[in-house]
């Protein structure tokens, strides 16, 4: 209620300021008209004084010139001044004030959040954490997920999967059978069944479950929940990172979870780092590029994603495999030179500079690699993270410390 009182008071205050300004302009118009009448009367008085002999001809001319100058100025103001042309009628002022107050409050009611209380940053963060802690579990998310048509396999494949299901039901501790069942159920779009089979795989392996085992379980859970990262899926991704701290897919999903629970700023930080690390053909890069702009907007950050790292595409690699050694070497050198030219003229990210250093090292052109390495150290002077990446690329290229 306090918000509405303040909002109405501010709107009325602005309307009052506009009305007073317009009213003063209206009041000034008659005053300027009165000035014209006064100056005309003074001219007539000069003529009368001249006729009575009170003033001489020379003095009368001087007075006429001065009064005429003032009369012209007053007449111009009365005819063409802003107050004369824009003076508002009282009814128009009332309409303007009503439209201003009602219009601004109506606009807020449509586009704003009426009744939404003040929320300092600390409270926003606390709510986000509470949302993350109390969000629905995997079973609830799967139950709420919309039904999706599964794949229509061939009769032969469907028969094989059905036999696999029966075999696994008879031997639930068959690790290989559970692995096969998880993959085939996921292929058919039966994600709930795939999740159950993969969970059994992780249970059977215990501490021996790999990062890939946990990652697959988490990804199947996300698919089964229609893109939602449940607490169980989050746990699977954290287990993935415990075994493989640099796993990009797990980091992407944890960023997605933070976005879904009210922390797009955290998602933005995670995803930006993944984009800069690359490689560009990693499976998590495309979904990040598709969503990071929205995450930045929700976080209130003016963000420009890094450009895609230069490098050969899958088609380039396939074409290179069919080339002779000489042609392949020429193609690679051309791509490396293209990257070198772009970095020299437009600049680039530390990853691209490191890639160029490594490429010259692979080609055996250590002199050029050393020159690029030295230039990169100058370009990124003061950026400890970038310098560490450049130095590591130099060592891998055989340039020493």
How would you write the pLDDT of the chain (401 residues) with one tens digit per residue?
455 577 667 767 776 777 666 666 555 555 555 666 776 777 787 778 777 777 777 887 787 787 777 767 766 655 554 444 444 566 665 666 677 667 666 766 655 555 555 555 566 677 777 877 888 999 999 898 887 766 677 888 888 889 999 999 999 999 999 999 998 888 888 889 999 999 999 999 999 999 999 999 999 999 999 889 999 999 999 999 999 988 889 999 999 999 899 888 899 999 999 888 877 778 888 888 888 988 999 888 888 887 765 555 545 555 655 666 666 666 667 777 777 877 777 777 777 788 888 878 777 788 888 888 888 898 888 888 778 888 888 887 788 65
Residues 390 and 293 in one domain: no
Q: Would 139 be classed as within a structural domain?
A: no
Residues 254 and 237 sit within 8 Å (Cβ to Cβ): yes
Which structure tokens are listed for 383?
Answer: 């950026």
- Of 54, 88, 111, at which residue does a domain stop? 111
User: What CA–CA distance (Å, rounded) separates 360 from 365?
Assistant: 5
Question: What pLDDT does 276 receive?
Answer: 84
Which structure tokens are listed for 54?
Answer: 């009170």
Phi, psi of 14 (to 5 degrees): -65, -45
Residues 252 and 232 in one domain: no
Residues 385 and 296 in one domain: no
Domain span at residue 81 reads 2-111
Q: Would 133 be classed as within a structural domain?
A: no
Question: What pLDDT does 43 receive?
Answer: 75
Residues 279 and 303 in one domain: yes
For residue 184, give the nearest of 176, 35, 234, 28 by alpha carbon: 176
- Of 308, 341, 360, at which residue does a domain stop? 308
Per-residue exposure over 171-194, b if at least 16 CB sit within 10 Å of its own CB, e if not: eeeeeebbbbbbebbbebebbbbb
Q: How many domains does the chain have?
A: 4
Residues 17 and 98 in one domain: yes
Question: What pLDDT does 271 receive?
Answer: 92
Which CATH number is 173's domain given? 1.25.40.10
Question: What pLDDT does 147 receive?
Answer: 76
Non-local (6+) Cβ contacts of 210 within 8 A are 243
Measured CA to CA in angstroms, residue 104 lies from 10, 21, 109, 115 at distances of: 10, 20, 9, 16
Residues 169 and 237 in one domain: yes
Which structure tokens are listed for 158?
Answer: 């469907």
Burial of 146 (0-12, 13-18, 19+ CB in 10 A): exposed
Residues 84 and 8 in one domain: yes
User: What CA–CA distance (Å, rounded) separates 24 from 18?
Assistant: 10
Q: Would 273 be classed as within a structural domain?
A: yes
What pTM, to 2 d.p., does this model score? 0.53
Question: What pLDDT does 145 receive?
Answer: 84
Residues 318 and 302 in one domain: no
Torsional sign, CA 308, 314, 317, 323 = negative
Residues 167 and 219 in one domain: yes
264-277 helix and 350-362 helix, angle to the nearest 10 degrees? 20
Residues 255 and 194 in one domain: no
Q: Would 56 be classed as within a structural domain?
A: yes
Q: Would 102 be classed as within a structural domain?
A: yes
Per-residue exposure over 384-399, b if at least 16 CB sit within 10 Å of its own CB, e if not: eebbebbbebbeebeb
Say if residue 310 is preceded by a cis peptide, omega within 30 of 0. no
Residues 182 and 279 in one domain: no
């Amino acid at each position: 209620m306090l918000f509405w009182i303040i909002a109405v008071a501010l709107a009325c205050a602005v309307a009052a300021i506009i009305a007073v300004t317009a009213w003063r302009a209206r009041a000034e118009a008659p005053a300027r008209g009165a000035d014209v009448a006064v100056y005309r009367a003074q001219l007539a008085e000069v003529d009368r004084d001249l006729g009575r002999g009170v003033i001489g001809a020379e003095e009368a001319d001087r007075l006429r010139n001065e009064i005429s100058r003032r009369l012209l100025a007053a007449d111009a103001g009365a005819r063409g001044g802003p107050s004369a042309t824009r003076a508002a009628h009282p009814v128009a002022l009332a309409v303007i004030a009503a439209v201003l107050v009602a219009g601004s409050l109506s606009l807020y009611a449509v586009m704003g959040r009426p009744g939404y209380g003040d929320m300092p940053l600390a409270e926003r963060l606390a709510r986000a954490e509470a949302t993350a802690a109390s969000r629905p579990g995997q079973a609830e998310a799967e139950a709420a997920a919309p039904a999706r048509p599964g794949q229509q396999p061939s009769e032969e494949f469907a028969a094989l999967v059905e036999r696999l299901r029966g075999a696994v039901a008879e031997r639930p501790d068959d690790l290989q059978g559970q692995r096969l069942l998880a993959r085939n159920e996921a292929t058919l779009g039966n994600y709930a069944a795939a999740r159950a089979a993969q969970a059994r795989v992780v249970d059977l392996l215990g501490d021996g479950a790999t990062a890939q085992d946990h990652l697959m379980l988490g990804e199947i859970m996300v698919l089964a929940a229609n893109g939602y990262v449940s607490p169980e899926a989050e746990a699977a991704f954290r287990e993935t990172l415990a075994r493989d701290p640099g796993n990009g897919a797990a980091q992407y999903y944890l960023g997605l979870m933070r976005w879904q629970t009210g922390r797009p700023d955290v998602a933005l930080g995670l995803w930006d780092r993944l984009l800069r690390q690359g490689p560009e053909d990693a499976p998590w890069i495309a979904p990040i590029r598709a969503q990071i702009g929205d995450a930045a907007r929700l976080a209130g950050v003016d963000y420009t994603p890094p450009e895609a790292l230069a490098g050969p595409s899958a088609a380039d690699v396939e074409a290179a495999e069919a080339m002779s050694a000489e042609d392949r070497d020429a193609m690679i050198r051309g791509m490396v030179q293209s990257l070198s030219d772009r970095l020299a003229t437009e600049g680039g990210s530390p990853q691209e500079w490191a890639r160029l250093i490594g490429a010259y090292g692979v080609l055996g052109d250590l002199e050029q690699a050393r020159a690029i390495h030295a230039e990169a150290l100058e370009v990124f002077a003061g950026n400890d993270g970038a310098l560490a990446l450049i130095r590591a690329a130099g060592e891998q290229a055989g340039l020493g410390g």
